[in-house]
Amino acid sequence: MNDSASRLREIHPSAVEGAFALFLRVVAAYCLLFGILYWIRLIGLYDGALWRFDLMPVHWQIAAVILSVFFPFAAIGLWMLSSWGPVIWFICAATEVVMYAGFPDLFGSRPVIVAAHIVVALIYAGFRIVLHLQRRQNAQ
């Protein structure tokens, strides 16, 4: 009986698991958007100040290249619900938090982006705690 109950849970995920999957896919969409915005910055489609790779200072060149690759990579991992997706997202988020909160004189101050990353991390942690408690309760 216990074996069939566990199979049923695998076939029909709980509401929390479904909400977590939806949350990860929403985060994947915004990671893809951030990646596209960094690519726009790199190839110079936008006519803003320092919005072309050859006109950027070296610190912006390094950050833009890394994040233009990592954000779409994180989006793929999050969309596929892979275990490495949140890890890559965390690297991107930590990089931007350090850029905008740690070095505002170099990268500018973007408190909305910093706050968004912190909120996403807190929601992610909340989901993981609830899922852990739910699995622990189901195991008993």
In a domain, 2, yes or no: no
Predicted TM-score (pTM) of the model is 0.84
Mean pLDDT confidence for 30-46: 89
Q: Please, which pLDDT band fits residue 9 given cuts at 50, 70 and 90?
A: low
Neighbours of 69 (CB within 10 A): 15
Task: Tell me, yes or no, whether 102 lies in a domain.
Answer: yes
Q: For residue 4, tell me if it sits in a domain.
A: no
Measured between alpha carbons, how far is 20 from 77 in angstroms, rounded to an integer? 14
Please give the tally of structural domains in the chain: 1
Rounded alpha-carbon distances, angstroms, from residue 46 to 36, 55, 57, 81, 107: 12, 12, 17, 33, 17
Mean pLDDT (whole number) for 86-109: 96
90 found inside a domain = yes
Cβ-proximal residues to 79 (8 Å cutoff; 6+ apart), any chain: 24, 25, 28, 85
Structure tokens at 104: 């505002």
72 and 61 Cβ atoms separated by less than 8 Å: no
Gap between the Cα atoms of 109 and 121, Å rounded? 20
pLDDT bucket at 1, cuts 50 / 70 / 90: very low
Q: Is residue 7 part of a domain?
A: no
| Residue 78 falls inside a structural domain | yes
- Is the predicted pLDDT of residue 123 greater than 60, yes or no? yes
Do residues 97 and 121 touch, judged by C-beta distance below 8 A?
A: no
Q: Which domain covers residue 88, as residue numbers?
A: 14-139
pLDDT digits (tens, 9 = 90+) for 40-97: 888 877 777 667 788 889 999 999 999 999 999 999 999 999 999 999 999 999 999 9
Residue 8 resides in a domain? no
Residue 140 burial by CB count (10 A; 0-12/13-18/19+): exposed, middle or buried? exposed
Mean pLDDT of the chain: 89
